[in-house]
Structures are given as C-alpha cells and as structure tokens.
C-alpha cells in the first residue's frame, strides 16, 4: 500500500497532522498500536481533567455552607470517579475514530517500525508483518513516564501516571515524587478525595519551571489544603517488601523514612524512540530526542518527527502545531517556524496555573529593564463572588518599548485566560494597549488589564 504521508502515532500530534494533511489533499494513513488519541486522550490530558473535575465538585460539596447552602449527607465513590474518567477518555477516542473516517484517513492498527526507502513495517496483534510505503513518513510516537534507577515502577506500589488514573481502590496515603504539572495535579486530586498526600521535590520550589512568585503561591495553597511538601529533597530508595512502601528521603537535615500505601513517580517523561527503526534508517538523535530542522525534517530526507520526541515543550498543543506546520510546508504553503518562546503552559490543579513567556528571573538575566504588575484575585469582584479569591495575575513588560515579556497566573480558571496573553504577544501588543482594551466586568479576565495597569502605576482597584 502506497501513501503520500504515513503518520506513526495517533496522539494530538499524530491525528491532528493526519487530518490537516488530508485537508491539503494528501493520501494519508495513521499507524497506532493502542487507542486513537494516544496518551493525551486516553491516559493524559483528558482523563486527568475528568478526575480533577470530580475533585472540584467534591470540594464544592464540602464547602457548600460557604455559599449559603446546606447539604446534610454526601460522599464520594472512588471507583465511580475513575469510571467516569475512563468513559470521558473512551468517548474522546471514539471522536477521533469519527474524524479519521470523515477525513478518509486509513487507520492501521499495530506497532510501526520505520525502514530505509520510506517504508514502514507494521506488526499486528497476531504477529503478522505488513509493509507500507509513503513519500513522507512523520514520526509522532510520543512519550511515557520516565523511570529513575532508584525508583523502579512495579505498577502496584510504585506507579506512574497511567496507573494513578485507574487504581482499584483509593489509597489512604501517597507520596508524589516530582512537582511538575503531573505531580501537583495528582497530588491535588488525591488530597481532595481524602488521601494523605506528601510531595517530594528535588528543586527549591514546587512547579519549578514557573515564575518564583507562582511557585510560592502554589505551595501556600497546597499546604493550606493539607498537602505536605518537601522541597530540596530526593527519594534515594524505596522498600516495597511490606504492606505499603517505605521511601528513604534525603533532605538538608539528613535522611528520613516516609511510609505510604503508594509512591507515584512523576519525575518527567521518556521519549518513545526505541525499537522504531531510527538506527536502521540513520535518523540522528541526541539526548533522547530526534533532531529536526525548523520544519521538522530529520537528517534523512522524507522522514519527519514531531511532538514529545523532538526538542521543545512536551505539550499536546505544541505537538499539534508542529504537525500542522510540517504538512503545510510539505504542501508548499507559506509557513513561519514556531515561536517556542510564546507557548502557553497550564497546570490544572486547584488553584490552576497558566503562563507564557519569560519569568521575572529570566527577563532580568536577559538584561531587560522591567515594569512588573501584579493584581490579586482577592481584589476581583468576580473572584470574590465565585468564592475563589486565591491567586493573582503577574505581567512583565520591557520598560523601554512596552513589549509584553511574560504573563503568569495562578487562580480559578486561569488556564482559559492565558490565550489573551499569547495572542497579544504574537501581535506585539504593548502594555498600554492592554490597559486601553476594555475588559468586561465582572470577570476574572479583568485582572489581566488591572495587572498591566499596575505595571504602569495606573491600577484602579488596588
């Protein structure tokens, strides 16, 4: 079977790439070894948000009296919460199946391995191997939970994010190793469900990629919610011989042993680049990543790579954007390389975190003279009325030209607000233009305008 484009992997990089390629007139096939939608739809972005929504509703019930409501009896059903999450994921995967049919894309089930000569071998569940050829092959095989040598995952007592979504019963206690987006989201979920949660983070601050003010606010909020946080700490070894887990944690004060039912390893991801034929084809890699040019072509003509397996942020929306750009370039359209400095990052715990651009520390290191504005949600009428006054918006401008260097938010619903900053930065909008753009009242998004005004000493409500 001969195609114009074969896409290896059907995550948010792969399936989006395939659809855009089909729209552009290419004959396309997608190879997938599991379920359409990849990790994001089946074991990542979507089902975790379903779990977090259940946690949010449960938190509302626990605080009903804050809203003048009386609920005499309520409880959670952990298995039903997990079941709802799986149902949402299954529905999304079926949606991708529909999109494949709608766009006349062939779906090939099996494990794909690229070969020289623009060929792909696909091994199906029965071990049968079929060879396919294409003018262009796009590798979008994604990533999986990274394992540390001193924290091997057995899938039962030491688990990764995949098992954390489908535990057969709720643990009474859990140690979360790593406090990136995956770590704090699961920490929040299990804490909301009533599990005793401890976060162990190697760096001085949790969510360490964020602006330091955001990290400190997140730590305060999580501690207030009852989560124990250990920073500048590392898990040296785990003992799973007993009923639970004993984790030896190294801190500045020495070593201590923590006991819990389960340890969740959330220390990052590992690219899926093994055993897919890269070496046989001669595709260059470096430090777990496939090397590509700004249009995602590898060193071997006709072979491309996108998503978590290439350098850049390992985010679903980045993979989608890379794939679209890649096939539009193949179609001869005028495209601009992605600006990786204007990619939004979101964390969906409570409070949420959303950010784009430079942190204050990064901006100072680059030598900018800064104008910084912060607006707390405690001064927002909408936030107070919603019962969500925690958090703030922080904006960073270049004092000389007014360039919007960075935007950092923590609070309720901020993941839906960050796009304003992304678009404004894309359009090279200045701080004064944000201040003079009328924002609706009362909304959470007013805080962006107020923060910009604060940077220029024009803030009204603070």
Domain ranges of the chain: 2-144+270-340, 158-267, 351-455
Fold for the domain defined by 158-267:
FAD/NAD(P)-binding domain (3.50.50)
The rounded percent of the chain whose pLDDT value lies above 70 is: 100
Q: Cα Rg for the chain, rounded, in angstroms?
A: 23
Q: SS3 for 133?
A: strand
- 194 pLDDT band, cuts 50/70/90, is very high
Is-contact 367 358, C-beta < 8 A? no
Please determine, for residue 19, whether its predicted confidence score (pLDDT) is greater than 90. Answer: yes
Beta-bridge partner residues of 248: 237, 257
- 258 pLDDT band, cuts 50/70/90, is very high
Cis amide linkage into residue 250, ω under 30° from 0:
no
Closest CA to 272 of 21, 20, 19, 32: 32
CA distances from 370 to 7, 267, 339, 401, 402 (A): 44, 33, 22, 10, 9
Distance CA 413, CA 410 (A): 9
Please pick, among 188, 334, 439, 441, the residue that the annotation labels catalytic: 441
Is-contact 300 183, C-beta < 8 A? no
| 441 is known as an active-site residue | yes
Output the pLDDT for position 43.
85
CA distances from 131 to 110, 113, 140, 281, 304 (A): 12, 10, 18, 15, 19
Q: SS3 for 316?
A: helix
Output the pLDDT for position 317.
96
Output the pLDDT for position 455.
97
Q: Does domain 351-455 have CATH number 3.60.150.10?
A: no
Question: What's the whole-number average pLDDT of the chain?
Answer: 96
Output the pLDDT for position 412.
96
Closest CA to 162 of 258, 272, 86, 94: 86
Please determine, for residue 40, whether its predicted confidence score (pLDDT) is greater than 90. Answer: no
- 112 pLDDT band, cuts 50/70/90, is very high
Please determine, for residue 193, whether its predicted confidence score (pLDDT) is greater than 90. Answer: yes
Distance CA 455, CA 431 (A): 8
Distance CA 342, CA 224 (A): 32
pTM for the whole thing? Answer: 0.94
Parallel, antiparallel, or unpaired for β 28-32 and 106-109? parallel
Output the pLDDT for position 47.
93
* Two domains, one topology: 2-144+270-340 and 351-455: no
- 462 pLDDT band, cuts 50/70/90, is confident
- 257 pLDDT band, cuts 50/70/90, is very high
Q: Does domain 2-144+270-340 have CATH number 3.40.50.300?
A: no
Output the pLDDT for position 44.
86
Tokens 């794909």 label which residue? Answer: 112
CB proximity list for 263: less than 8 A, separation 6 or greater? 151, 157, 158, 159, 174, 175, 177, 235, 238, 245, 247
Apex 107 CA angle, 90 and 20, nearest 5: 90
């Amino acid at each position: 079977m001969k195609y114009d484009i074969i896409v290896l992997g059907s995550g948010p990089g792969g399936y989006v790439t395939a659809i855009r390629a089909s729209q552009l007139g290419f004959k396309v096939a997608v190879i997938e070894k599991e379920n359409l939608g990849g990790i994001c739809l089946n074991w990542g972005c979507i089902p975790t948000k379903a779990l977090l929504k259940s946690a949010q509703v449960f938190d509302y019930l626990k605080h009903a009296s804050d809203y003048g409501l009386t609920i005499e009896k309520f409880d959670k059903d952990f298995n039903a919460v997990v079941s709802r999450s799986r149902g949402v994921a299954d529905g999304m995967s079926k949606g991708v199946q529909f999109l494949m049919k709608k766009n006349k894309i062939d779906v090939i089930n099996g494990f794909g391995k690229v070969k020289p000569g623009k060929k792909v071998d696909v091994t199906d569940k029965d071990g049968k191997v079929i060879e396919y050829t294409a003018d262009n092959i796009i590798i979008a095989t994604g990533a999986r939970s990274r394992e540390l040598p001193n924290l091997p995952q057995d899938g039962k007592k030491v688990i990764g994010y995949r098992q954390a979504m489908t535990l057969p019963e709720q643990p009474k206690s859990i140690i979360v190793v790593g406090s990136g987006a995956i770590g704090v989201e699961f920490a929040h979920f299990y804490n909301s469900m009533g599990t005793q949660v401890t976060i162990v983070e190697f760096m001085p601050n949790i969510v360490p990629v964020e602006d330091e003010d955001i990290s400190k606010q997140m730590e305060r909020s999580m501690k207030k919610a009852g989560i124990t946080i250990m920073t500048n700490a590392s898990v040296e070894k785990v003992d799973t011989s007993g009923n639970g887990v004993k984790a030896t944690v190294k801190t500045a004060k020495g070593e201590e042993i923590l006991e819990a039912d389960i340890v969740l390893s959330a220390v990052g991801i590992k690219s899926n680049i093994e055993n897919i034929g890269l070496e046989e084809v001669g595709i260059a890699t470096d430090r777990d990543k496939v090397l590509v040019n700004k249009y995602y072509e590898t060193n071997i003509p006709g072979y491309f790579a996108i998503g978590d397996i290439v350098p850049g942020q390992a985010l679903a929306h980045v993979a989608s954007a890379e794939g679209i750009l890649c096939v539009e370039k193949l179609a001869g359209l005028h495209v601009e390389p992605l600006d990786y400095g204007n990619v939004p990052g979101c964390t969906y715990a409570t409070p949420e975190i959303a950010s784009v651009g430079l942190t204050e520390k990064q901006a100072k290191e680059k030598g900018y003279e800064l104008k910084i504005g912060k607006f707390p949600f405690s001064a927002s009428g909408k936030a107070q009325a919603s019962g969500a006054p925690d958090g703030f918006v922080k904006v960073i401008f270049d004092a000389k030209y007014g360039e919007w260097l960075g935007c950092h938010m923590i609070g309720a619903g901020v993941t839906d607000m960050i796009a304003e900053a992304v678009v404004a930065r894309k359009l090279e909008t200045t701080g004064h233009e944000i201040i003079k753009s009328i924002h609706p009242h009362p909304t959470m998004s007013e805080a962006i305008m107020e923060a910009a005004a604060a940077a220029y000493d024009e803030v009204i409500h603070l």
